Structure 1
């Protein structure tokens, strides 16, 4: 069975985004392991923000590459329900990759803070005046979506395992 893979640029952007999403989660979740005021802890949230911003900035090229190169066929072909579930999951993943960074920026700007540039005292200034109502909504949405995003990422990984080890098709090999 010969596998038609995604274009090298599509594979590169997929794995880069996956690494950045993992880094963003790790930076947010593990910063409590470090004492307040330490350089490493102080750098973790700015790095978290920038991982998210880079993910968001890569979304448009990612979609353009998908439009240009398409999606390689699966061998053997998937049942219709799996094709539909994959499409819904991918739309959800793309939505999270856009929504989470936007919500993160809204949180900072609603607090009157800029987006910090790691390891400097520089920040991208807020685009609007502070507002507690926006901050509360954005924070709640960011946290809720983060939890849901964990689940969708888990579904994505489980699907890859299912395709590789149970269905034994080439879904996973197309992205390697």
Structure 2
């Protein structure tokens, strides 16, 4: 008899926490660096290259996570959750995973299309810029990257609040979802 696990597989748990460890600092750095004046030298010499490198890493980990999720048995939703909670949870999880891939792609497209781009570094490598230089396209990619990054941040906050609600406010019900991911 093939039973579904009560926890996510180790590979999915590790990828989950790696994405979390990347996404929150990336959004924070993105917000901070765009708030700095262009005259601040560390903005172009440190912040943007680091943001790009770890953004590419976030993309790779997100793509691997999607691949692993498609091939792994995931635990069923807790019995104590209301139908709307399981539906919302499923939607939020899928959209966060998609955004973990799309947001870095928009960042790459933004950098690749920018006429004054310094390239897309990746820990000692220089990734090819595949898009033609076009500042109008850059503006669209920049808006999309920023909007989707903040959407991802809002979904992460909703995700964390949901976990905390189920852990601390739903006592007496079988709703604690945190042990599934630890």
TM range (shorter): 0.7 to 0.9
RMSD, aligned α-carbons: 2.4
Work out whether 1:36 is the aligned partner of 2:40. Answer: yes
Equivalent pairs, count? 171
> Structure 1: how far apart are the matches of 2:71 and 2:105?
26
Q: 2:65 aligns with which of 57, 62, 67?
A: 62
Q: Deviations over 1:25-50 (max 9, x none)?
A: 23223345798224x86222211112
Q: Deviations over 1:100-144 (max 9, x none)?
A: 1111111111114320345x6x63231132012211111111121
Bigger shift: residues 151-160 or 48-57: 48-57
> Structure 1: how far apart are the matches of 2:160 and 2:8?
17
Task: Check whether the contact 1:109–1:126 (CA below 8 A) recurs between aligned residues.
Answer: yes
Query: Where in structure 1 are there 5+ consecutive unaligned residues?
Result: none
> Structure 1: how far apart are the matches of 2:12 and 2:44?
33
TM-score normalized by the length of structure 1? 0.85
Bigger shift: residues 29-38 or 66-75: 29-38
SS in 2 for 1:116: strand
Work out whether 1:170 is the aligned partner of 2:172. Answer: no
TM-score normalized by the length of structure 2? 0.82
Work out whether 1:105 is the aligned partner of 2:105. Answer: no
Task: Check whether the contact 1:160–1:172 (CA below 8 A) recurs between aligned residues.
Answer: yes
